[in-house]
Amino acid sequence: MCWYRYVVHTFIICPYRRNTFADFLDHIKGIHPDIQFTMEVDKNAALPFLDVLVERKPDSTLGHRVHRKPTCTDRYMNAESHHHPAQKQGIINTLIHRARIISEPRHLAKELEHLRTALRGNGYTARNIEQAIRRRHTPIEKREYLLAE
């Protein structure tokens, strides 16, 4: 069994069969009366946890990619807003960083394409987006060299 917790969210992989999940849930609910648990089981071999979609691959290993709730509108701070440019650049950098740390390589290109579309829809230029993507692709040693030029 594996048990991961982030604040009030818990991700558990247990070796039980689906018909025993209810018994397991009853057991952990009974440990302390003030702690309430709800449970979701995977659908189509996938389960969202926070902003990660965890997928069971055919070889039974786990894969992962960025997850957005169906209510996600892809609205971010507009590029024309009266915020400091560093804050607006931070939006781009943060979304790209999130894509890189969450998405497996096989999902990364699709996620970056989604970000290009979403960020363009929020008024960011293709130039700023592509620069941020290239900058994040560049290894730290090379990036320091490029900054010195």
* pLDDT band (50, 70, 90) for residue 127: very high
Q: Which of 6-10, 22-26, 60-64 has the highest mean pLDDT?
A: 60-64
Both tokens assigned to 35: 């702690």
Residue 28 confidence (pLDDT): 86
Sorted by where each begins, the domain ranges of the chain are: 1-41, 45-149
Select from 60, 59, 36, 62 the least CA-distant residue to 49.
62
* Mean pLDDT taken over the chain: 88
Residues 63-92 have a mean pLDDT of: 96
**Is pLDDT of 7 > 70?**
yes
The two counts, helices (H) then strands (E), for the chain are: 5, 5
Both tokens assigned to 29: 């609910």
CB 90 within 8 A of CB 47: no
